[in-house]
Every structure is written in C-alpha cells, then in structure tokens.
C-alpha cells in the first residue's frame, strides 16, 4: 500500500469495536478492520464463540480481544462500551452490527418478539452510540457505522419489528450525525443487500422468495459477507471524513431496480 493510501485508508493505531462479530457480516467486518491495521474488539453474547475470530486476527498479525455482552440489555451495552474504551484507553470506531430477527405475519406478531427485536436492533444501537459518542466527542474524533438494511427503505414481509428497527437505525444515524459531525464524529450506516448469512437462511430456503429476490438484483447473485469489507474500511478511515449521515447501500444494485 502506498503511503498516500495508508494515510487515507489505513487504520493503524485505531481501536474498533464490532458488535455481533462471532459470525457472518460482523466477523467479516472485524477481519477487514484488523487487516487495515486496527486493533479490534469482537463481541457476541457467548464468549466461547468469539475465540476463533480472535485467534484468526492474531494469526494475521493483528491485535484483538473479545468482550461478551447482550445488546438487548442497556446495562450490558453500557459496560461493553466502557470495557472497550478501557482495553487500549480509547475507542475510535464503533460498528453496530449485532441484530436479531423474528418472522411471523403482522396480525399474529407477538409482543415478546416485538420487544426483543426492538431492544437489540434499535435500543441497543442507541445506547451504544450514546455511550461511545460521549467518549468520541470528548476526544474530538470518531467513526460510528450502524448496520442498517434494505428494510430501512422497504417494509418487507412477515418482519414488522425488524423493518421498524432498521428504519429507526437509519433515522438514528441521521440524528446523531446532525449533532456530532461538527464535533469530529462521523456517523454513517451501511445497508447490506440480500446477504448469505444465518439471518437470511429462511429466505434462502424459500424457492418462491429466492426467485423474487434474485430477479431484482442486477448483480444476479446474493451478497457475501466479504462484500462489506471495502465499505467498512472506507467509512472507518480518514478517507470518509466529509461523509456523515449517509446510508450506503451495498446491495448489488437492488435499490436502483
């Protein structure tokens, strides 16, 4: 990498927290940030599931640690941010990736599923942004990247809580950006298209929905977790210092169809 590209896109000396990074999109983004030079905190509810990605990052020559936390619990989220800051004394990058989904027809959707999805996907994101943002504002710099969804823009089917939560993530991204961009903290979001992950297993197994989805993706394929690597490094780096409040669709052209 040339010195110019290292300066603009390199993350050496930065500390990044990626929530929900034991697998799928979060794991791919944590790996990409480490390869760009960042020290990475990986997170999930079960500590033992985080060991493989920590070892993988260390094998690549990076530095990583794991902090288990339940993103559906406010106190747990607050502790996660505090422990992340304490690890190296600062936190430069927060990636709010942790999320959950529950499927049922809207007329039959349970209160329990609604509360669970909103607590993890929206309240957890708000709590993490607020706690990390206070630290970043005091330091005069920071990057927050929230993981939105195609359902930030569309309503979807049989996932009313997920659609509501991801719509909220898009608005939170803009709201925090409006207040914090002038303080050196850029808040953006990535809206992944239809990705091959555990969350989309039900869709991948449904031949009718799969056909409908594929017919609308100009790239003519589902996305892979690795497709987010470039976007997450860019939004975490100084190359994106004048980008704030933006929701970047990484969707194979879906939104343009």
Residues designated catalytic: 162
DSSP string spanning 4-32?
Answer: HHHHHH--TT-EEEESS-SSHHHHHHHHH
DSSP E strand boundaries for 59-127: 64-68, 93-96
Other Cβ atoms less than 10 A from the Cβ of 109: the count is: 17
Report whether 99 contacts 189 (CB < 8 A). no
Residue 207 tokens read as 């031949």
Angular region, 150: left φ>0, alpha ψ -120 to 50, beta rest? alpha
Sort 76 into a burial class: Cβ within 10 Å, 0-12 / 13-18 / 19+: middle
d(CA 251, CA 257): 11
Q: Radius of gyration (Cα) for the chain, nearest Å?
A: 17
Is-contact 93 39, C-beta < 8 A? no
DSSP 61-74: T--EEEEE--TTSH
């Amino acid at each position: 990498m040339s010195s110019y590209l290292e300066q603009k896109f390199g993350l050496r000396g930065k500390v990044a927290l990626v929530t929900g990074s034991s697998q799928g999109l979060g794991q791919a983004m944590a790996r990409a940030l480490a390869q760009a030079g960042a020290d990475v905190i990986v997170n999930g509810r079960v500590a033992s599931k985080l060991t493989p990605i920590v070892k993988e990052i260390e094998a690549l020559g990076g530095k990583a640690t794991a902090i288990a936390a339940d993103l559906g619990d406010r106190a747990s989220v607050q502790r996660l941010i505090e422990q992340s800051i304490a690890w190296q004394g600062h936190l430069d990058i927060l990636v709010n990736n942790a999320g959950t989904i529950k499927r049922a027809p809207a007329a039959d959707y349970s209160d329990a599923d609604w509360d669970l999805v909103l607590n993890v996907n929206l309240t957890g994101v708000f709590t993490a942004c607020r706690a990390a943002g206070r630290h970043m504002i005091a330091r005069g710099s920071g990057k927050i990247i929230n993981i939105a969804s195609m359902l930030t823009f569309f309503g979807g089917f049989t996932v009313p809580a997920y659609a509501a939560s991801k719509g909220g993530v898009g608005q939170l991204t803009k709201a925090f950006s409006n207040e914090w961009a002038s303080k050196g903290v850029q808040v953006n979001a990535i809206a992944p298209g239809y990705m091959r992950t555990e969350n989309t297993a039900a869709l991948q197994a449904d031949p009718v929905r799969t056909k409908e989805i594929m017919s609308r993706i100009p790239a003519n394929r589902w996305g892979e977790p690795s497709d987010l690597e470039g976007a997450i490094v860019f939004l975490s780096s100084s190359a994106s210092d004048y980008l704030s409040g933006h929701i970047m669709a990484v969707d194979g052209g879906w939104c343009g169809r």
